[in-house]
Amino acid sequence: MDAEGERMKTREEQVRREARAWYEAHWDPALPAGEWFRMMLEARWAYAGWPEAWWGRGLPTPLVRVVREERRRVGALGPPSGIAPTLLAPMLFEHGTADQCRRFLRGMADGSETACQMLSEPDAGSDLAGVRTRAERDGDEWVITGSKTWTSNAELVDYGMLLARTDWDVPKHAGLTFFLVRRDQPGVEVQPLRQMTGDARFNQVFFDGARVSADDVLGPIGSGWAVTRTFLAHEKNSYNPAAHEGGPFGPVNLQRPAGDVLAAEQRRLPANASGRGVGRVLDQLVRDFGRSEDPLVRQAHAELQIRRRTMGYTNQRVRSSGHAGGLPGAEGAISKLTVSEITRGQRELGLAVQGAAGMLMGDDAPSGQFQYFAMGTPSISIAGGTDEIQRNHLGERILGLPAEPRSEAAPLPLPVNDASPSR
Ligand SMILES: Cc1cc2nc3c(=O)[nH]c(=O)nc-3n(C[C@H](O)[C@H](O)[C@H](O)COP(=O)(O)OP(=O)(O)OC[C@H]3O[C@@H](n4cnc5c(N)ncnc54)[C@H](O)[C@@H]3O)c2cc1C
């Protein structure tokens, strides 16, 4: 091993020792979850990749993983894993002011505040720069009018990451600004949208005169597209399970014992992701239906394993980049496509193994959990950018193929009559 390798190994051993000692000394399942989150944060172990100025240790991704391993070894509850710590935090580090970092990071990390993404609109999904929700300046505030859709968990969260149009006279990418808007205020109405899983986990959100303080604009006015690009890059990577700390995703009862929150997390099947929970349910189905030795089942298992290895390779690339939040770019797109493929592969295998019983739902199904996962599978190829868009990204930006025609030079036509959102 060369000198640099030796140095890295020593550093890894030191981080491992310190993290282990801290978790062994402090983890107590009887502590209220909120107190546990605060302790991890203040000891700088919750998000060890965050900068030292902001409750982190500035550790590169391989060492963040070491901290996570030690926490899991001790069996402690992880810090909140939702989209705020995974996506908004890196955006704040890149585009936020010190005041914004102070106000938003602490709440997302101690579990007292959660966020959602308010980007997509009825007519702007893949073509996100076409958003028409508008923000108009009024003194120290901005007034928001328009509508967002597919907004996951909007009914539960404290604030949304909102992309809105602030200038209609410039090419569409140049007229956007990024805001952090409080959800619970007059002028914001959240209407649930039911999915084929039976859940209503996403919503349409209507803005009619909602207000955002000028202090809650992320990045300069008109720089919304640059901020969104940071967001999209991290979002792709966030589909990779390794990008998360492993703690709860949504709002948590912070008075509940941390051990109970952890047990509930471990029982929860990741219904929309290719997490280990699905793998376990699938293995059980294969055994229950007596198909463990079936050559076709074994072949399908092998193919899934190859995809997981591909994912492992991508993770390695992300880690070796040393980027604490994961490497935005090609690896993110590959990672997201691979998660789509693994998820589809698991669904196909699970349904095939069950035969006709695969058509049953709810209490009638051999595994209600699996059927629920199967119904949620298509969303993985859409949410956070469709498979086609990931392939475009790889084709154009990585392989250098000719770009598809674009119309970004023209400003969007001014909205005529959209002050009140239609229902
Ligand atoms: C479960 C789930 C959760 C979501 N949560 C959120 C959320 O919290 N916040 C939020 O803002 N959004 C959310 N979304 C929205 C998601 O980001 C969009 O659905 C996605 O970006 C696609 O946009 P669209 O639905 O408008 O489809 P469109 O953009 O209209 O695409 C329709 C079809 O055309 C294809 N297509 C479009 N453009 C191209 C192109 N240039 N080249 C090739 N093919 C193309 C697409 O691949 C797709 O098959 C969520 C979606 C899902 C499914």
Gap from CA of 333 to ligand 1 centroid (Å): 15
Average pLDDT of the chain is 88
Ligand 1 pocket test, pick from 339, 382, 392, 406 with the greatest ligand atom count within 8 Å of Cβ, gives 382
Asked if pLDDT for residue 422 goes beyond 80, the answer is no
Q: Which two tokens stand for residue 329?
A: 């770019």
Question: How many angstroms separate the CA atoms of 307 and 310, rounded?
Answer: 5
CA–CA gap between residue 420 and residue 55 (Å, rounded): 42
**123 CB less than 6 Å from ligand 1?**
no
Residue with tokens 């955002």: 212
How many percent of the chain have pLDDT more than 90? Answer: 64
Ligand 1 centroid to residue 24 C-alpha, Å: 44
Tell me the C-alpha distance between 344 and 229, whole Å.
27
- Is the Cβ atom of 190 under 6 angstroms away from ligand 1? no
Q: What pLDDT shows up at residue 417?
A: 43
The minimum-distance atom of ligand 1 relative to the CA of 386 is 47
Longest dimension (CA), the chain: 70
Residue-wise pLDDT tens digits, 113-154: 999 999 999 999 999 999 999 999 999 999 999 999 999 999
Rounded-to-integer distance, Cα 33 and Cα 112, Å = 11
Among candidate residues 205, 226, 228, 219, the one with its CA nearest the CA of residue 144: 205
Beta bridge partners, 135, equal 144
At 318, is the pLDDT very low, low, confident or very high (cuts 50, 70, 90)? Answer: low
Distance of alpha carbon 416 from alpha carbon 411, whole angstroms? 15
The answer to whether the CB of 354 is under 6 A from ligand 1 is: no
> Are 154 and 202 in contact, with CB atoms under 8 Å apart?
yes
**Alpha carbon of 389 to ligand 1 centroid (Å):** 9
What CATH number was assigned to the domain covering residues 3-109+238-243?
1.10.540.10
With bands split at pLDDT 50, 70 and 90, how would you rate the model's confidence at 328? low
Q: Which of 235, 245, 331, 341 is catalytic?
A: 235
* Spatial separation of the C-alpha atoms in residues 309 and 305, rounded to whole Å: 6
168 phi and psi angles, rounded to 5 deg? -100, 0
Nearest alpha carbon to residue 92 among 71, 113, 77, 106: 106
Predicted confidence (pLDDT) per residue in 18-38, tens digit: 999 999 999 999 999 999 999
Indicate if ligand 1 lies below 6 Å from the C-beta of 117.
Answer: yes
Helical axes 98-109 vs 33-42, angle rounded to 10°: 140
Distance of CA 203 from the midpoint of ligand 1 (Å):
14
Q: Does ligand 1 have an atom closer than 6 angstroms to the CB of 152?
A: yes
CB of 304 closer than 8 Å to CB of 345: yes
The helix-helix angle for 276-288 and 330-354 (nearest 10°) equals: 20
Active site residue 235: yes
Cα torsion at 391, 393, 397, 398 (round to 10°)? -40
- Is there a contact between 180 and 159 (Cβ–Cβ < 8 Å)? yes
pLDDT at position 333 is 84
So what's the pLDDT on residue 177?
98
* Tokens at 339, concatenated: 């998660």
* Number of Cα atoms under 13 Å in the Cβ half of residue 194: 2
For ligand 1, atom 7, which residue shows the shortest CA distance? 151
Q: How far is the centre of ligand 1, averaged over its atoms, from the C-alpha of 225 (Å)?
A: 17
Query: Is 128:177 a contact under the CB 8 Å cutoff?
Result: no
Ligand 1 lined by 195 (C-beta under 6 Å): no
d(CA 147, CA 149): 7
pLDDT tens readout for residues 262-280: 998 877 654 444 445 788 8
The runs of H, that is alpha helices, within 112-238 are 224-238
| Ligand 1 center to 386 CA (angstroms) | 6
pLDDT single digits (tens) 216-260:
999 999 999 999 988 888 887 666 666 677 788 888 999 999 999
What is the reported pLDDT for 274? 41
CA of residue 418 relative to chain centroid, distance: 31
**Which residue lies with its CA nearest to atom 18 of ligand 1?**
125
For residue 178, what are the β-bridge partners? Answer: 163, 218
Q: How far apart are alpha carbons 61 and 75 in whole angstroms?
A: 21
| Residue identifier of the C-alpha nearest atom 48 of ligand 1 | 386
Residues linked to residue 118 through DSSP beta bridges, in sequence order: 162
Residue 118 CB neighbour total at 10 angstroms:
31
Residue nearest to atom 31 of ligand 1 (CA): 126
Determine the distance separating the centroid of ligand 1 and the alpha carbon of 126, expressed in angstroms.
Answer: 5
Q: Which atom of ligand 1 is nearest to the CA of 195?
A: 1
Q: How confident is the model at residue 409 (pLDDT cuts 50, 70, 90)?
A: low
- Among 198-207, 273-282, 367-376, 407-416, name the most confident range: 198-207
**How far from each other are the two terminal CA atoms of the chain, in whole angstroms?**
65
| Count of beta carbons in the 10 Å neighbourhood of residue 423 | 8
User: Is the distance from the beta carbon of residue 384 to the nearest atom of ligand 1 less than 6 Å?
Assistant: yes
Is 133 in contact with 156 (CB distance < 8 Å)?
A: no
